[in-house]
Amino acid sequence: MKNPYAVLGISPGAGLDEVRKAYRELAKKYHPDKHTDNPLSGLAEEKFKEINEAYETILKEHETGSSRSRSRYQEPGGLFTRVRTLINGGRFTEAEHLLDSVAEHNAEWNFLKGMIFLQKGWRMQALQHFQKAAEQDSGNPEYRAAFERISGQSRAYRDMSSQYRRAQVSPCDCCAGLICADCCCECCGGDFIACC
């Protein structure tokens, strides 16, 4: 059977109202009564049957709530568009669930997975997926920009933390700092270190 969503001209994630509207419009257009005197009436009748079958298939899927059968008809591009919409709407768990249903991990898949990890605050995982996306599709400026942005932030963080590690702080420096803080507190009527 043909993809029922393609037959009705709607996306696999369409709601029932959209499905019904598309069905009504196509049923009116290809109804056999409209094409009785037309030499192409046989084709119109076949198309009408195809539209009815597609409509019934989609209704059954919605009744059973079967997302597995719907995903069988989803094109990866349409699914990725849906994932982007979910990410933009802040629905990261749903987006990740939908993305994990895709078997082929191409550049777009890796980029979107990286976006989800980034939103979760998992920068290293995001960086790995952005890097893979940029490697898989080196001509895509969106993938490259995401990788470079996160890579640059990670590099800046590493540089900053290494500067702090290189700074030689002795125990005497710590004590001197605490005594200064105590003096400031005592000037304002407080007491930072009670023993002195």
- Tell me, letter by letter, the H, E, C secondary structure of 17-41: HHHHHHHHHHHHHHCHHHHCCCCCH
**Maximal C-alpha separation, the chain:** 107
Confidence bin at 184 (pLDDT 50/70/90):
confident
List, for residues 29-70, the tens digit of each pLDDT value.
Answer: 888 788 788 787 788 888 889 988 988 888 887 776 544 444
Chain centroid to Cα 110, Å, comes to: 10
Look at 122 and 69; give whichever has higher pLDDT.
122
Name the class of domain 4-70.
Answer: mainly alpha
Give CA–CA dist 105/196, Å, rounded: 64
List, for residues 17-36, the tens digit of each pLDDT value.
Answer: 888 899 899 988 888 788 78
Contacts of 150 (CB under 8 A, 6+ apart): 114, 118, 123, 126, 127, 130
Its CATH architecture, for the domain 76-166, is Alpha Horseshoe (1.25)
Domains of the chain, residue spans: 4-70, 76-166
